[in-house]
Amino acid sequence: MTRNDRRAAPPSPRQLHFCPRVLCGAGVLAELPGVLEPTNKYLLVTDEGISTAGLAKLVCDLIAARGIRHEVFDRVCVDPDVAIVEEAVAFAHETACTAVIGLGGGSSLDAAKAVATRLAWPNSLAEYGRGMEVPVPIAPLVAIPTTAGTGSEATRVAVITDREQNEKMAIRGDALLPQLAVLDPDLLTTLPPRVAAECGADALTHAIEACVSKQASAWTDMLALAAIRSIGEYLPRLVSDPADAEAAEEMLLAANFAGQAFTHAGLGLVHSLGEPLGAFHHTSHGLSCALFLPVVMEYNLAAASPGYSRIAAALGENLEGMTIEGAATASVASVRRLFASVGLPASYREANIDFVLRSDMVDQVFPQYSTSCNPRHPKREDVVRLFESLDSNPA
C-alpha cells in the first residue's frame, strides 16, 4: 500500500524549488571537502555495495584529509524501511553526527533524507507519510548519486517503506531538497548494466509522466523534453559502457532534469501501478517503470496525443507526414525499442515475476496523487486490465 495521497501534492507550478548548489562534471567530487561545513560531523548514509566498491572510502578519505569528522552507516537496503532509518538515526545520535551525506542510488539518497529529517524533528516518519509536510530546516544534507535514475538529489520527496504495514510512504517538503548535490560521472564506472538500464527507465518515466501530467507547465516541459532527448541518446551507451564519461554525465543531468520536472508537475499512472507491484512482488522501482511505461502510454494516447507527439520527436522519431495521433503512437514504439535495446523485460514472465493480482493492489492505485495527475483518469476495470496486460509479451 502507498500513502502517497492528494495531501502529498507537488508545489504549485508557479513556484520553483531547486537544490541551491550543484557540482557537475568528471572529478567534481574532489571539490566536496571545500564546500562542507567543517564544524559539522557528517554521517555518510550508503549501502554495502557502495562500500564494497570502494566509493564510501573514496568520499571518507577526501573529507578526512581536510579534517572533517564523519561516520559511516552502510546498511541501507533496496526500498529502505522505517527500521533501517531509525537504526541510522540512533547511530547518528550515538556518534554525535549533526549532518548527513547520502551516497548511492535512490534508496540511499531517500534514506539520507529521512535520517536528516529525523535528526531535526521528533515526528515519526508515519506522520509525514500521512501527509504532514517535513518542516524547514532538517539537518544539513548533501546528495551524491552513484546511479542515473531517481533524480532524488533534485526532489522534495523521499519514499520509505513501512514493512509491518506493507506500505510505501512518500514524505515530502521543501526541506528535503539537499543543500548540495554532486553529479560526478566518475562514480558510475562500476554500475552494472542491468542497474543502469533500470535506472534509466526510472528517469525516462519521470520525464514522460511529467510531460503529459495535468500539472505540466512550460517550465516542466522544457526540463522533461531535455531529459527525454538525452536518455534516448545516451542510455544505450551507458548500459554498453559505464566508463563512457560523456554518457554518464549526460544521464546524470537527465535524471536530475527529470527529477526537477516531476517535482513540479507530478507523475502518473506508471508510478501508481508500480508502487503496489513493488510492495507485493518486491520488484525494483526501475523494473516496475520499465514494465508499465509502454502500456500506460498506450492507454493514455487518446487523452494526451500532443504531449506524446512531442515525446516522439524528442526520442528522435522521424515524424514527417504523420498526424499528431500517429506521432503519439510512434512514441510508444520508440520507448519499447529503447527498452529492448538495453535488455529490459516487457512482461512479468520475462522479468521472472510470478504475478498474482490482489484486489488491494488495485485499491491502492486510486488514492495516489500520481493517479490524479495522469491525463486519463482510470476506472477500476482499466487498472485491472493494465495490471493483467503484462501477463504476456506485447504484440
Q: pLDDT tens digit string along 130-169?
A: 889 999 999 999 999 999 999 999 999 999 988 877 778 8
Amino acid identity of residue 301, one-letter, is: L
The pLDDT of residue 10: 59
Q: pLDDT tens digit string along 197-218?
A: 999 999 999 999 999 999 999 9
Is 296 found in the same domain as 341?
Answer: yes
Q: How confident is the model at residue 249 (pLDDT cuts 50, 70, 90)?
A: very high
Is 203 found in the same domain as 165?
Answer: no
- Which of 188, 210, 228 finishes a domain? 188
Is 198 found in the same domain as 184?
Answer: no
Is 199 found in the same domain as 155?
Answer: no
Is 232 found in the same domain as 367?
Answer: yes
Over 90: is that where the pLDDT of 87 sits? yes
Kindly report the CATH number assigned to the domain that includes residue 17. 3.40.50.1970
- Which of 188, 217, 250 finishes a domain? 188
Q: How confident is the model at residue 392 (pLDDT cuts 50, 70, 90)?
A: low
Phi then psi dihedrals of residue 96, to 5 deg: 60, 35
C-alpha to C-alpha distance for 86 and 125, rounded to whole angstroms: 9
Average pLDDT value over all residues in the chain: 93
Instruction: Give residue 13's domain range.
Output: 2-188
Q: How confident is the model at residue 1 (pLDDT cuts 50, 70, 90)?
A: very low
Is 170 found in the same domain as 24?
Answer: yes
Contact present, 5 and 367 (Cβ < 8 Å): yes
Is 219 found in the same domain as 123?
Answer: no
C-alpha to C-alpha distance for 392 and 395, rounded to whole angstroms: 9
Is 206 found in the same domain as 179?
Answer: no
Is 265 found in the same domain as 159?
Answer: no
Number of neighbouring beta carbons within 10 Å of residue 83 = 13
Contact present, 102 and 112 (Cβ < 8 Å): yes
- Which of 188, 210, 229 finishes a domain? 188
Kindly report the CATH number assigned to the domain that includes residue 352. 1.20.1090.10
Q: What is the pTM of this model?
A: 0.93
Q: pLDDT tens digit string along 98-127?
A: 999 999 999 999 999 999 999 999 999 999
Is 100 found in the same domain as 8?
Answer: yes
In 85-179 the beta strands, taken as DSSP E runs, fall at 99-104, 141-145, 157-162, 167-172
C-alpha to C-alpha distance for 307 and 309, rounded to whole angstroms: 5
Q: How many domains does the chain have?
A: 2
Is 70 found in the same domain as 16?
Answer: yes
Is 304 found in the same domain as 161?
Answer: no
